Structure 1
């Protein structure tokens, strides 16, 4: 039984992977040929009914687990993908791969098209880490199975190159594109559609690197081939038009670019339909061009259309909406439309976790809330199992574990059945749940209603070329553009943070690398200056950052120009006009987080004040934690350069790692002091060997208002091979999957909390999952999902003595005035540390300012 692959060139977005339809060997050549012909002609709506009928016929004839059924699933999935219906395409491709894996294995050449197609889907969704191993596996299979000049090998080279190019890896992409071009020119001739795709791709590489003179003839030749071979109204022609117009726009040739963008819009409207993502790309490009020409009146209706269908791009919509007020659009409408786009376009993983918590809180009844949590947990488990299976199919068969994969598939099947039952329950018993689970973005008035008289909210949208700041109080609203884009802000935030390394702050003798007050003032003027009149007199400032700004400790902005960028001594930092001196600051993962914490606040209260975990035992061979009190000055972090010695094979050598972890005996003092303030029972404070994963996982954490961890924190990237951020607890003598000493973010997400506050008195707990990742993810995301309303987290490696002092002082102030609010209590604790003249270094921000309040900082 043979199946022949027939190449269909599909070019997603500006750059993407080519994808294949596969002819089922027993489906009838005429039907397969017709589906392929319609697909090549861009007549997807006509091809889909034929592909559905073919799939149904094959399933009836041969059963569900047949190779030809897999090929038919692949074909239908690709057609759905051509219409932007990835949610329907993805499960079909996974099922096709599972069938092929079971019947003939994934080492055969038949598997390569399906691996490519699933990878291409992930690439369209910018899930590059998921796509890369699949593309590589498909290329490896074809290199082993096909002659060097086979066109399918050229397809795989193009696919992997496209992935690299989308990530800006030009040195890796360009040689692969050129190898693929040579193959297609040899086997298909100079006018093959795949040649057009490769010419276009190489032109794109030249274009984005500013080599315009080299790029233009390549893209023009691609356009000419596509018009001749595919027809002037084919969707791939629109891709070449779009790319050539973009080249002209980069050169300032706006008059040349405009008709090309207009024609691309017309083609895509006709060929792909009104809701296709490719049409949205062309529409946004045309609107952006109009705005560049000062034609806001022409750009506005296009932008309003993209907002209506959820396809607006921040880089386009915000400038157009800002320029439209008030002549073309009422100021209130322009602001609400802008907030709509920002809330849809800047959804971080932490914000997503808060939204899931909000859905559970809004569910109200115990039964619905429990069902929602169960459905969300099952969805998270599905995602993890999917990732493990994807990792498996990208490996050689000799490196796979068939039994484990089968268990995963059986579990996925069971989850699908259970979730289907839950959806029926939601539809039957809770008809309002669908609207509840998909909340609409908030308007300015809705946000204002959630704020108190003493609060201001500042929301940022960081885009490629510019940034927008929105300020909202109960009395007024304002928004302004900032002439700094993502890359420039990222560089400034990185420079700002370089002065916050406590290892460089031993004394004030050397100024190299110390905190730059002038830069802190420059960032204040840039980011908050445009809206300062509205927000400066409010006692509480709520900040919803995006992009690089999630890594910026806003409380360390300086509101007045300093006399010196770096003071002569540490004590000189005490007089700086820190923003913290003016306002208490809370950080929100997103604007929607405010609604989650206030509109859907918990109705039930926790029954116990606090539970805490600290002073864990890192070396199980020691007699107990805290035997030596000589490490009170330890940082709650490790030194990155020392990690390479702690690995055996793919996993961490916890015994060697534990020997490098300094004990933290002062964390016991910290927890005991806070516990005394709050009247906490001794049995609720877990120290030494009792501060373990086992204790955490078996505790009824939902009973506690505060859940407190005082230990080392590891962020991914700190330790080679730690795939996710973790809190280090007592390391057992015999590690198990249940308790290996590292409470990872995925394990945190499985906890059941009902906490007003989770305190992570560790290092770097605000950081992203890996270098360059968004901050406020990882541990923060998982604790929000588990049920926390607010987190106390750290921006950098924390001095242990300072951490103890700051957290204890924060809770002292809350005990003295329970109505103070968490953000204000933290502010007062920081200021007290700053103003303590007992040591000059107390004034240095690396010591007194590591913590940030994420989430609800007020008393509600």
Structure 2
């Protein structure tokens, strides 16, 4: 759903500030007056005047023993920074204020609601909704418990939570909260209270989101009238109502009514907030997009480029404007492409891409002291982030569920980490002045990318936005940029439908055509995604795909390049003759554009000295531990997926409920054959292959993994959601008799990140290892991100639950091909292994794509 005009969050900033002056401060005249002045200036949008006052107030209270007063002052200062758009400065102040308030007044204090609200609002602005929601809910609960249910602060808390729900497109939950808040404010403050205007504005926006335009206009216009009367014509809140009313008129194609409102909103915000404020960037983008949709792209272009300069560019705004400007010759071709590339690279940086960049920084630093210091700094940052998330989660809970001592230890550790990292930054500045250029890579331009590609490679980069998407294709000597007439929702639906046919069970029973893979849809997606740039890319043997949004879950090699004879063939053998993209090209997936440079610049450096180590055939059920029994148990092919069952249900006290575990995690005896076969192909020593009970977390964590060129896992892969209570993707290893912090049988993504690898590639021959952390999350995250961070240069991962026999065949074939022809590269070896499988006529199910096509290569697919 379009979010251009949804600027509800900023209304929270001023609403929360009224509660900042505590009773203790009010008893001290000077502090109370100073706090009131800060509040007054903030409400007027005069943040540059409020800032020195707020800073002085904090400085004067830093040596005070009154944590309550200091907490309020920190909150004031945080509000000023947030008003200026400096959330990075506001966030630590809010967190410190919460800790001080709880320490001085206890966990149950109702006065903490303002601090909780402000931190939640900050997270909401950053789209960190999962972190914001429990904070908003706790603030509401605190206020309802300590105040009357009709108190204005309860109304504020209701509005805050409702606004969050709107951002999450949960309008049905938001509407009754808005209505209840409106009733409270109208009763307590009267029909022209500024808070009434805020709620009316939000209700109008909700109506607009639900396409109830006839209902939306009245509350937004009433909100505007109240704000102009009470706050003055030039107040930033007036701009908010103007912006939303203009958006409504734009939707109704009342362009003559919309434009002056957009322009007036921009002028107000520029005067009140300064040119660099996020709200100014929002107004600039809104006006630019309005001019674009009303056919005035020449007027829209300079506004869009202004948002590019602020690094707050909205892809849904700037990409169509730049695309049209290129078509209309308003910009030189190369300039338009480079600006689009920069916007895409800034706007779609995934966590997996970030992990690749961090790996590149360490590799660029070499293997000496600098590399060790860089890794130490990155590990400390990751530890601090994890501790901080744990504390915020705790702060969101009721007091009975809190472990205050653990929270204090966490805060103390964060402080220690901050001091150590500060020392490291000084060391970098003094001893390694070039480090900064490594750690902050700039977006790549066309001229940066083309020399990285071989003559037989094409890169396709996708940006998925609201109504339509874009593909940029680049080869060593050519470039093309095309629009795709499918937006985010449409692509998500089509990719979901595409994946429904990829069930290995369908290849086993072939009972009817219901649910089988749809070749017509695979061709439709090819025409939409690669058809527009086919002339440039189809003759290149290697295709490097940089996907985004739903496309990260699309196995591109299963697209069909020609119209099939039937959407679903009469027999499974009919799938063999489909024009699979795989027959034409070897496909690799890159987490980002810049990761191409990161991986290629350092792919050949300091590789492991031993060929491979592997972990497979772990023990989940001791009753099947003996090799003979386990072979007997493997009479049928097992798909590596699990039932949804609570991980805590596996444990009974200090032991394991083996019956529950066996039900959820079937043994995988043929993974031993898989690992041994691959080990023979690459010349790995028998001692480096860990099977059965030896395939454990303990063995893995104690191994010198950095000496291996290949690290191989053949086991169950679990994404968050497969197992209840499992908060991150994991690999299942042997379950110990006595679980411990070192070894509980699941190697989680966060534990993977702590490994020290130097691997040419990591193989995850397990189900769902390409999946995101949760439904709808970016794929290529989770395990992929962690293995890149740990030191992998390429990953072989699976898109869906893998048939164990098929996985063994595909992986051993891939490695055998590489052994015989090492120069063909990983992507080509995988391609040939898949083609050999699909062309094997010994069984009809060999032709079905769910059997031969589960694997994808992420990272560097060529020989470097």
What TM-score do the two structures reach when normalised by structure 1? 0.96
Instruction: Give the Cα separation in 1 of the matches to 2:604 and 2:457.
Output: 21
Name the counterpart of 1:670: 674
Residue pair 1:624, 1:689 contacting (<8 A) in 2 also: no
Name the counterpart of 2:506: 504
Instruction: Give the Cα separation in 2 of the matches to 1:595 and 1:581.
Output: 27
Tell whether 2:267 aligns with 1:271: no
Q: Secondary structure at the match of 2:861?
A: coil
Q: Secondary structure at the match of 1:664?
A: coil
User: Residue 392 of structure 1: CA displacement?
Assistant: 1.3
Q: Secondary structure at the match of 1:686?
A: strand
User: Residue 625 of structure 1: CA displacement?
Assistant: 6.0
Instruction: Give the Cα separation in 2 of the matches to 1:766 and 1:235.
Output: 45
Instruction: Give the Cα separation in 1 of the matches to 2:651 and 2:559.
Output: 43
CA distances 1:103-144 after superposition (whole Å, capped 9, x unpaired):
112311111110111111111111011111111111111111
User: Residue 295 of structure 1: CA displacement?
Assistant: 1.0
- Match runs of 1:418-437 below 5 Å: 418-437=420-439
Name the counterpart of 1:55: 58
Change (3 A) 1:122 1:836: same
Change (3 A) 1:811 1:226: same
Name the counterpart of 2:16: 19
Instruction: Give the Cα separation in 2 of the matches to 1:673 and 1:344.
Output: 43
Instruction: Give the Cα separation in 1 of the matches to 2:114 and 2:850.
Output: 53
Instruction: Give the Cα separation in 2 of the matches to 1:585 and 1:798.
Output: 19
Residue pair 2:8, 2:202 contacting (<8 A) in 1 also: no
Q: Secondary structure at the match of 2:629?
A: coil
424-433 vs 521-530, greater mean Cα deviation: 424-433
User: Residue 308 of structure 1: CA displacement?
Assistant: 1.4
Name the counterpart of 1:599: 601
Name the counterpart of 1:6: none
CA distances 1:303-359 after superposition (whole Å, capped 9, x unpaired):
111111212111111111111126211101111111011111111111111111122
- Match runs of 1:820-839 below 5 Å: 820-839=824-843
Instruction: Give the Cα separation in 2 of the matches to 1:591 and 1:820.
Output: 23
Instruction: Give the Cα separation in 2 of the matches to 1:364 and 1:116.
Output: 45
Instruction: Give the Cα separation in 1 of the matches to 2:234 and 2:137.
Output: 34
Residue pair 1:16, 1:123 contacting (<8 A) in 2 also: no
Instruction: Give the Cα separation in 1 of the matches to 2:651 and 2:215.
Output: 49
- Match runs of 1:139-538 below 5 Å: 139-325=140-326, 327-364=329-366, 366-538=368-540
Q: Secondary structure at the match of 2:501?
A: helix
Q: Secondary structure at the match of 1:599?
A: helix
User: Residue 463 of structure 1: CA displacement?
Assistant: 0.3
Change (3 A) 1:153 1:640: same
Q: Secondary structure at the match of 2:691?
A: strand
Instruction: Give the Cα separation in 2 of the matches to 1:509 and 1:471.
Output: 41
Change (3 A) 1:332 1:612: same
Name the counterpart of 1:583: 585
Change (3 A) 1:402 1:733: same
Q: Choose which of 776, 779, 800 in structure 2 pairs with 1:775.
A: 779
Tell whether 2:33 aligns with 1:30: yes
- Match runs of 1:535-550 below 5 Å: 535-550=537-552
Q: Secondary structure at the match of 1:696?
A: helix
Q: Secondary structure at the match of 2:17?
A: strand
Instruction: Give the Cα separation in 2 of the matches to 1:11 and 1:642.
Output: 39
Tell whether 2:696 aligns with 1:692: yes
Residue pair 2:644, 2:723 contacting (<8 A) in 1 also: no
Instruction: Give the Cα separation in 1 of the matches to 2:343 and 2:699.
Output: 44
Name the counterpart of 1:799: 803
Instruction: Give the Cα separation in 1 of the matches to 2:734 and 2:179.
Output: 54
Name the counterpart of 1:44: 47
Instruction: Give the Cα separation in 2 of the matches to 1:846 and 1:818.
Output: 27
Between Structure 1 and Structure 2, how many residues are aligned? 849
* Structure 2 stretches lacking a partner, 5+ long: 1-6
Instruction: Give the Cα separation in 2 of the matches to 1:500 and 1:208.
Output: 35
495-504 vs 656-665, greater mean Cα deviation: 656-665
Tell whether 2:726 aligns with 1:729: no
Residue pair 1:542, 1:585 contacting (<8 A) in 2 also: yes
Name the counterpart of 2:853: 849
User: Residue 644 of structure 1: CA displacement?
Assistant: 9.3
Residue pair 2:719, 2:730 contacting (<8 A) in 1 also: yes
Instruction: Give the Cα separation in 1 of the matches to 2:635 and 2:81.
Output: 61
Change (3 A) 1:427 1:195: same
Residue pair 1:634, 1:664 contacting (<8 A) in 2 also: no
* Structure 1 stretches lacking a partner, 5+ long: 1-9
Name the counterpart of 1:4: none
RMSD: 1.8
Tell whether 2:658 aligns with 1:638: no
Change (3 A) 1:657 1:476: farther
82-91 vs 641-650, greater mean Cα deviation: 641-650
Q: Secondary structure at the match of 2:71?
A: helix
User: Residue 656 of structure 1: CA displacement?
Assistant: 4.6
Instruction: Give the Cα separation in 1 of the matches to 2:654 and 2:561.
Output: 47
Change (3 A) 1:649 1:129: farther
User: Residue 13 of structure 1: CA displacement?
Assistant: 5.0
Instruction: Give the Cα separation in 2 of the matches to 1:334 and 1:636.
Output: 48
Tell whether 2:655 aligns with 1:658: no
Instruction: Give the Cα separation in 2 of the matches to 1:132 and 1:752.
Output: 36
Change (3 A) 1:213 1:160: same
Instruction: Give the Cα separation in 2 of the matches to 1:273 and 1:650.
Output: 60
Name the counterpart of 1:720: 724
291-300 vs 848-857, greater mean Cα deviation: 291-300
Instruction: Give the Cα separation in 2 of the matches to 1:855 and 1:626.
Output: 39
User: Residue 436 of structure 1: CA displacement?
Assistant: 1.7
Change (3 A) 1:756 1:501: same
Change (3 A) 1:139 1:650: farther
User: Residue 28 of structure 1: CA displacement?
Assistant: 2.6
283-292 vs 31-40, greater mean Cα deviation: 31-40
Name the counterpart of 2:3: none
